[in-house]
Amino acid sequence: MDTRLVSSFFPVACVFGYLLWRIIQLLLRPYTSSLRHLRGPQSPGWLLGHVKQVYGCSEEWTETYGETFKFKGFCGSDTLFTADTRALHHVLNDATTYVIPDVQRRIISEIVGNGLPVTEGEQHRRQRRVMNPAFGPAQIRDLTGIFLQKSTELCQFWGAQFTDPGESARIDLLDGLSKMTLDVIGLAGFDYDFGCLNASSKPNELNAALHTLFLGGNNVPPLFRWLRLMYPILKRINAYKGRELREAKKVMHDIGMGVVQEKKRAVAKLGIAGVSPRRDLLTLLTRANMDPSVPENQRLSDEEILAQVPTFLLAGHETTSNATAWALYALSTDLAIQTKLREECFSLSTSDPTMDELNSLPFLESVVRESLRLHPPVESAARTATRDDIIPLGKPCIDARGRAQDHLRVEKGVSIHIPILAVNRSKAIWGEDALKFRPDRWNDVPETAQKVPGSWANTMTFLGGTRSCIGFRFTIIEIKALLFTLMRTFEFELAVPMDDVQRQTTTLLQRPVLRSAADKGSQLPMLVKYVQRT
C-alpha cells in the first residue's frame, strides 16, 4: 500500500475514531451517570435538555421534586440541583474539589476577563489575599460620601424629568439607577468620572464599551451563545456582534492599563505609608500589592490588577443597580412599609449620614436584607466536580426507585447547580410566607435559616465559602445610601400592574422587564412624586 495514502488516511481515521468514541460516550451517559437514579423533570429534548428552562423554574421544581434532584444539560448530561443547606456547605467550602464550570467561566470572562471571579486555586487565593484590604469596613466607610453624593445627583436627574413638581412623573428607574451606579463605581472604584448623571456631558469611549460588554450579547440567539461558549473556536465568527465585543474589550484594556500605570506612579511617589487623598479601590489595591511585606511571588502582575477593573465595574454597576431597582419595586408593592422606612430615614437629622449612622437604622437594615433575600441580583451559580466525591445531605432525598438517600455519590465532571433564588425563597427555611416581602421577619430569624451557608444575613445572595463575594459590604452600604436619600426625597408607586413585572436573566443577572413590552428590554417604570412633609 502506498505509504502516502496511509499517512493521509491515518489523521482522518483518528478524528473519526475520536468522534465515534465521543458519540458513544454521549449515548451511554444517561445509563452510567452517578445521578441516574435521582428524580427530576422530564427532559424536553436531548440536545439542549433544560438549558432554556433552568432560569425561572427552580422554585417550581423544588416544590415538585424536593430540595435535591437532577435536570438535563447539553446532550443528555445530568446536572445535580440541590438546595440542601448541608450539601451546599460541603460544596462551597471545598474549592479544590468543586470549581467553576468551563462554560460559566467563559461567560464571565467574556465580560470581565480573567479577574477574581474566574480564577481558581492558588491564583484565586493570591488575588483575594491582596484585594481583601481594599474591601474592609474602614475603606467602605471612606467611600460612603461618594454613595450619598451620587444618590443626591440621581434625585436631581429624576427631578429634571418632572413637568410639574406637584404632580407625579412616570420614570424608568432602571435607567437612572444604572447611570448612578456606574458613576459611583467609576469614582469609588478607580477615581474615574463617567459623568453619566450629568445631562450635558458627552458619552465617553469607556461608557460605550461597557454598554457593549454588559448588554451587547443579549441579542445573540441563545443556542449560538451557548455553542460559542462550549466551543470557543466559534468566537472567531464575526456574526452576532463578536467584533463589537472584541473592540469593546480592547477599549477597556487600553484605558484600564493607563489607569493602573497612573495608580502605580502615584503610590510610588507618595510611598506606601503616605496618606493619599484618593481612597478608590484600585488605589488601595495597588498600595496593598506594592507593600514591601508582600513577597514578590505573591504580588499581582499589572495584567492581573487590570483584570480586576471590569470585575469592579460588573459587581459595582449592574449588580447594584438591579438590586436597588428590585428593592424599590418591593417597596412600591407595600406603601405602608415604604412609609415606615421613610419615617425612619427622616429620624436622622442629617442628609449626609456616616456609614455607622446608616447602619444604626434597624428597619433600613431589615428592608435591605429582605429585598436581597427575595430578589438576589444573581439567580444561581454552578460548580463542577474535579474528582469523585460523596456529598452529605441534611434532608434525605427520595430517588426514582423510592429509596431514601442521605448522601450522594458524584463522579468527576458532574455539574452542581447552586440555586441561590430557590434557597432564599425556600418555604422549608423561611416559612409559608417566604415569597412575601416582609422586612419584619428579620426581627425573629427562623432557626432553619441559621444553617444556610451564605456569607451574609443567612442568605445565599453573596454565596458562601471561600469564593463568597468580596465586595458585599460595598454593595450593601451603597444600597442603603441610595434608599436613605430616595426615601427622603420621593414616593414610589408602580406605573404598571404588579403582574406585568417579571424577572429575566440576561448575562447572569436578574433584570426587571415588562411582559407587555418584553421587546423593549429591561425597565422598571414608576410613578414618582416628591415627598410632601408639613
Q: Give the least confident one: 73-77, 143-147, 395-399.
A: 73-77
pLDDT of residue 125: 92
- Average pLDDT for 217-228: 49
pLDDT of residue 509: 82
Instruction: Tell me the C-alpha distance between 509 and 321, whole Å.
Output: 11
- Average pLDDT for 139-162: 96
CATH topology of domain 113-380+419-530: Cytochrome p450 (1.10.630)
**Between 376 and 193, residue with greater pLDDT:** 376
pLDDT of residue 29: 57
N-term to C-term CA, the chain: 101
H helix intervals, 347-411: 355-359, 362-374
- Average pLDDT for 451-475: 95
**CA angle, corner 237, sides to 25 and 20, nearest 5?**
15
Confidence band of 531 (pLDDT split at 50, 70, 90): very high
**Residue 410: pLDDT above 70?**
yes
Half-sphere exposure of 327 (CA within 13 A, CB side): 31
pLDDT of residue 293: 85
Nine-digit cell string for 5: 495514502
- Average pLDDT for 273-284: 71
- Average pLDDT for 321-334: 98
pLDDT of residue 315: 77
**Residue 27: pLDDT above 90?**
no
Q: Which residues contact 220 (CB under 8 A, 6 or more apart)?
A: 228, 240, 241
Which residues, in sequence order, are bridge partners of residue 70?
A: 80
pLDDT of residue 234: 46
The values of phi and psi at residue 415, to 5°, are -95, 140
Q: Which residues contact 78 (CB under 8 A, 6 or more apart)?
A: 29, 30, 33, 35, 36, 38, 70, 71, 72, 414
**Residue 214: pLDDT above 70?**
no
**Residue 223: pLDDT above 50?**
no
The CA–CA distances, whole Å, from 72 to 30, 334, 403, 414, 508 equal 10, 39, 21, 12, 19
- Average pLDDT for 453-477: 95
Q: Which residues contact 120 (CB under 8 A, 6 or more apart)?
A: 95, 99, 100
Neighbours of 250 (CB within 10 A): 11
- Phi-psi category of residue 521: left, alpha or beta, with phi > 0 → left and psi -120 to 50 → alpha: left
pLDDT of residue 296: 86
Q: Specify the residue for cell string 470549581.
A: 99
**Between 499 and 33, residue with greater pLDDT:** 499
Confidence band of 115 (pLDDT split at 50, 70, 90): confident
Q: Percentage of the chain surpassing pLDDT 70?
A: 84
**Between 361 and 50, residue with greater pLDDT:** 361
**Between 226 and 495, residue with greater pLDDT:** 495
3-state secondary structure of 276: coil
Confidence band of 375 (pLDDT split at 50, 70, 90): very high
H helix intervals, 271-361: 281-290, 302-313, 319-332, 335-346, 355-359
Confidence band of 10 (pLDDT split at 50, 70, 90): low
Nine-digit cell string for 84: 440542601
Q: Does the annotation list 469 as a binding residue?
A: yes
**Residue 442: pLDDT above 90?**
yes
Nine-digit cell string for 333: 408593592
pLDDT of residue 233: 46
